[in-house]
Structure 1
Amino acid sequence: MSLSKEGKAEIFAKHGKSATDTGSTEGQIALFTKRISDLTEHLKVNRKDYNTQRSLVKLVGKRRSLLDYLTKVDILRYRAIVAELGLRK
């Protein structure tokens, strides 16, 4: 369920500046997107897991706030990450 160090480094290398740049907005959004997709798959099997459902809603809110921040700071970076990750907005 959880990501390994290598998996996280791969996500940050692909979407951030480097594999060790864990603070970049794009890297955080990509990591949250991966975790959201994993939790969504878990909830398809375990419908009554309400703790996981709550953490999923919290993660979606965190990702949304980061996307809002990126919209205010640099709209081109926002559009690039949304297109790259296949997010709706």
Structure 2
Amino acid sequence: MLDRDKKQALIKKFKTHDNDTGSPQVQIAILTEEIHELTDHLKKHKKDFSSRRGLFRKVNLRRKLLLFLSKTEPENYEALVKKLKIKKITEPEGKKDILEEEAIKTEEETNEEEN
């Protein structure tokens, strides 16, 4: 868990406006720091499965936020990934295929209704 000073420093560094505490950039930065701390903890305490579950949860939440940011603000996403030195997130291939198939089906149904 981050102490208040570290969290405030991250918010100050990544905020997008004066009162910003919850933008995706700030949330991703905080989650990244928490992930680093949990990773260090798990290196010492290998059998702490509760913390491991929490780590997976934080990694998944960060992945979702990164995916959202990459779709809505690609330039901010690129800058954030570079600043935090983390891997770029890509959407899973299977999900893309399913979404494309649904879009095609919806388009075909719309065309049939018009005729």
TM-score range, shorter chain: over 0.9
Note if 1:71 corresponds to 2:70: yes
What is the aligned partner in structure 1 of residue 49 from structure 2?
A: 50
Q: What SS class does the counterpart of residue 16 from structure 2 fall into?
A: coil
1:14-65 deviation line (CA, Å, top 9, x unaligned): 0113575211110100000000000000000000000000000000000000
**Larger Cα-atom Rg:** 2
Return 5+ residue gaps in structure 2 as ranges.
89-115
Return 5+ residue gaps in structure 1 as ranges.
none
Q: Is the 8 A contact 1:13 1:20 kept in 2?
A: no
Q: What SS class does the counterpart of residue 31 from structure 1 fall into?
A: helix
Q: What SS class does the counterpart of residue 21 from structure 1 fall into?
A: coil
What is the aligned partner in structure 1 of residue 9 from structure 2?
A: 10
The letter for the 2-side match of 1:67 is L
Note if 1:59 corresponds to 2:58: yes
CA gap of 1:6–1:44, structure 2 versus 1, over 3 A, is same
What is the aligned partner in structure 1 of residue 36 from structure 2?
A: 37
After TM superposition, where is structure 1 displaced by more than 6 Å over at least 4 residues in a row?
none
- Identical amino acids, percent of aligned pairs: 38
Cα distance in structure 2, aligned partners of 1:12 and 1:58? 21
CA RMSD of aligned residues (A): 1.3
TM-score in terms of structure 1 length: 0.92
